[in-house]
Amino acid sequence: MHRTDRAASRHVGARARRALAFVLAAFILLALSMPQSRADESLQHFISGTRPGELIQGADAYGEMSGSPPLVPLLSSGKPVGYAYLNTDFSSAVGYSGKPIRILVGIDPKGVIRGIKLVEHKEPIVLIGIPQEKVVAALNSLIGKDLGRVAAGQEQLPQVDIVSGATVTVLVMSDSVVRSAVKLIRSGRLAETGTLASGAPVTPAKTVDATVSEVHDWNTLLGDGSVRSLRLTVGEVTKAFADSGHPEAAARPETGNADDRFIDLFIAPVSVPTIGRSLLGDTAYERLQKSLRPGQQAIVVAGDGAYSFKGSGYVRGGIFDRIELLQDGQGVRFRDRNHTRLGDLATKGAPHLREIALFTVPDEFPLDLTEPWALQLLVQRSYGARDKATLPFDLGYTLPHRYLKATSAPTQTAQPPRQPQAAAPGLAAGTQAAAEPAGQGSADEEPLWVKIWKLNTVKIGITVVALLVLTAIFFFQNWLVRRPRLFAWVRRGYLLFALVWLGWYANAQLSVVNVLTFINSLLTGFSWEFFLTAPLIFILWAAVAVGLLFWGRGPFCGWLCPFGALQELTNNIAQWLKVPQVKLPFGLHERLWPIKYMIFLGLFGLSLYSVSLAETYAEVEPFKTAIILKFARGWPFVAFALAVLGAGLFIERFYCRYLCPLGAALAIPGRIRMFEWLKRYPECGSPCQRCAKECPVEAIHPEGQINVNECIYCMHCQELYHDDHRCPHMIQVRLKREKFEALSSPTTRAPAKPGKGPARPPVITHKGLPIKVPEDDTNPTG
């Protein structure tokens, strides 16, 4: 190609890059200038798209909306048969996404749930591969439940079946429906549900006596009921599952010995002075009292055994999904912001327990310590790949009378005092635990992200070491590529690490969704803590950001992307099996590059309208199917991922070349890189095109220049750059060097025989062909 043609090509490429940058800048300016409009989140808006019969069977019309929070009568032939309301008008319903989950509920005048419709959510259910229909089916198990009896304290809160992979989401949704219904019933706005009866008994009001402040040992606290315990063995839990109709779960005990301890669970309200000073110590108790708002309570929950009352939901979603605080038919689950981890209990003789947590009761749940309450333990047992059975076990608590005092004014109660919740069948009686020395607990509040980083110390360490190794590979690339065999093993070994450990084990697969979320957070309110809660993702993004300054998109796309590693390794196997490789004409190949940029810009523009909608369309990435879920997903997703990988068997890294929106997102800022590490010779492209022909992703133009937007930094061209048997430039260098060595070395000259004149120069060959070396024509005599 002539110099003028190459210059024209560069000019066209520069214009295309400027046009792309202009489009991106226009999108960003549009996002910054657009007013952040809010969608209509009212009850009127949602019932306008819902038929009355979906909420109560037989209803054919809506009545006049009234009250605050709003309530809409449901009519059948003009007669009221129930009411419709929006759960978020009565209770909180915030899940993984941090956004409300909105549900329309149909309830009849007796307080029975007749219909439920999920109308809006921003939960990443679709992103993690859980069908929404499965979540809704679990929620629909509340239909037909008489929450009037729950509101009266005559029944426990109903529990829904847990959906594996969406535990927190299902719990939040069911809790919200139940709490909102109970609150509505108690408000007296339903015609046939009870309100405060005129003849309700008058009982003297009680309050916690703050003047009773003593310090007792562990045995005393257990003995007088200040600390309540629930003791379960593995066999008792197994029998409870069998009795409740879950034989599959009963057949999967946690340990092989039925007498092994399943859990020892202890609870105590530490906002009561004597209990708090005894369990926390004076210093920690005083600090707790300063942090509590007026009327707010705090409890300690401690456990030991094979089952954890914390579970893992609070790490992934900030919600403790295995315990719930119950009182008078209402319940609340704790979030990470309510939690402080304690090392040990300060009271004398307290056992060393594996898990000790201090919980402050959320403001929306006014826990009355003068009335009975309970902590419900939700026991979950998996019996299949994605199947899980659950059973509730209640640990009731009534504050000992010596901590209470009567107030002067009597009060009228809506219902008789509720008795402590009875434990599930098979519960063992509370017994003393062995006494061990205990240390001082710490009540300092620790951010959630700090706790998560501490829990993932080993993973973080391995990831950091892997990034340091990759940095060394890049900095010492010249030494490494001169040893092709070693470099091949290093590269394939690193790709295996990225696929197996980073991807399939640690699930540290970056996604374009991360980019869209980051941009959206800049527009709506940025918070580092949101991103710090995923330590490996955060570390990888930090490394990618640094890598963009030095090497562009190459470090991630070519080395750290698990799906990219899967593509390259499967293509290597295909080449080893002699699968024919397809090489597209460069003109066609170059015109397919922009597809991934169009996909990214489309997702970016869509995210300005709706992030959740953009996340749905981001399924164009097969990362979640192939890496996060390991192909355990619906057949359309699996078929798409396999189709992409199948194309990659014939065209190496097919998805990376033409479809990957994340690669496009990284290529745009990758243009700001500060260094040029890939070396080229003047002859590259004219006349030699060997690197361009052998580039695995065809990122080298025929005229020789490397397109850094497409380069994955595999360093194959750098291997050629230093190879004096494959690179024509280096072959010439080697031949000249060999010629010079042949002429300059005394051992290459034959000694002259007497009377025969000077010896003939030696014959030098290359690949069996003689190379003519001119004779030395110097004249020693001058």
716 DSSP 8-state letter: H
pLDDT at 424 (0 to 100):
40
Question: What is the signed CA dihedral for 171, 173, 176, 177, rounded to 10 degrees?
Answer: -120
Could you please report the per-residue DSSP string of 426-481? Answer: TPBPP-PPPP------------HHHHHHHHTHHHHHHHHHHHHHHHHHHHTHHHHH
Angle at 760 between CA 754 and CA 765, to 5 degrees: 150
Nearest to 495 by CA among 448, 539, 557, 442: 557
H or E, element range at 177: helix 167-186
**How confident is the chain (782 residues) per 10-residue block, as mean pLDDT?**
47 52 52 45 83 88 87 89 88 66 89 88 56 76 83 71 62 81 83 44 67 89 89 90 86 87 93 92 90 90 90 63 81 82 89 90 86 88 73 87 72 41 37 33 49 80 94 91 90 94 88 81 64 82 89 89 93 92 87 90 84 77 85 84 93 91 88 79 80 86 83 86 82 84 66 52 50 44 36
Joined together, the tokens standing for residue 721 give 């750059």
- CA–CA separation, 55 and 114 (whole Å): 6
pLDDT at 36 (0 to 100):
42
H or E, element range at 314: helix 313-316
Angle at 698 between CA 697 and CA 702, to 5 degrees: 170
Find the distance separating the first CA and the last CA of the chain, reported in whole Å: 50
- CA–CA separation, 173 and 466 (whole Å): 40
Put residue 198 in one of left, alpha, beta given phi > 0 → left and psi -120 to 50 → alpha. alpha
pLDDT at 641 (0 to 100):
92
Cα torsion angle, 45, 49, 54, 59, sign: positive
- CA–CA separation, 595 and 620 (whole Å): 12
pLDDT at 524 (0 to 100):
61
Q: Helical H runs in 551-694?
A: 554-555, 562-576, 586-592, 594-609, 611-617, 623, 635-650, 654-658, 661-670, 690-694
* 377 touches 231 (CB < 8 A): no
- CA–CA separation, 375 and 327 (whole Å): 9
Joined together, the tokens standing for residue 136 give 């809704």
How far out from the chain centre does Cα 391 lie? Answer: 27
- CA–CA separation, 719 and 724 (whole Å): 10
| Buried-exposed string 418-437: b where 16+ CB fall within 10 A, e elsewhere | beebebbeebeebeebeeee
Residues with Cβ within 8 Å of 720's Cβ and at least 6 positions away in sequence, in order, are 690, 691, 694, 726, 727
Bridge partners (DSSP) listed for residue 261: 233
H or E, element range at 339: strand 339-341
CA-to-CA separations, 598 to 602, 641, 660, 664, in angstroms, rounded: 6, 20, 10, 9
Residues with Cβ within 8 Å of 145's Cβ and at least 6 positions away in sequence, in order, are 112, 113, 158, 178
Write phi, then psi, for 245 (nearest 5 degrees): 90, 30
- CA–CA separation, 242 and 712 (whole Å): 56
- CA–CA separation, 150 and 327 (whole Å): 10
What global pTM score does this model have? 0.50
pLDDT at 279 (0 to 100):
93
* 698 touches 13 (CB < 8 A): no
pLDDT at 493 (0 to 100):
94
Nearest to 263 by CA among 423, 151, 148, 150: 423
- CA–CA separation, 300 and 275 (whole Å): 10
Residues with Cβ within 8 Å of 408's Cβ and at least 6 positions away in sequence, in order, are none
What length is written for the chain? 782
pLDDT at 516 (0 to 100):
81
CA-to-CA separations, 434 to 350, 352, 437, in angstroms, rounded: 8, 9, 10
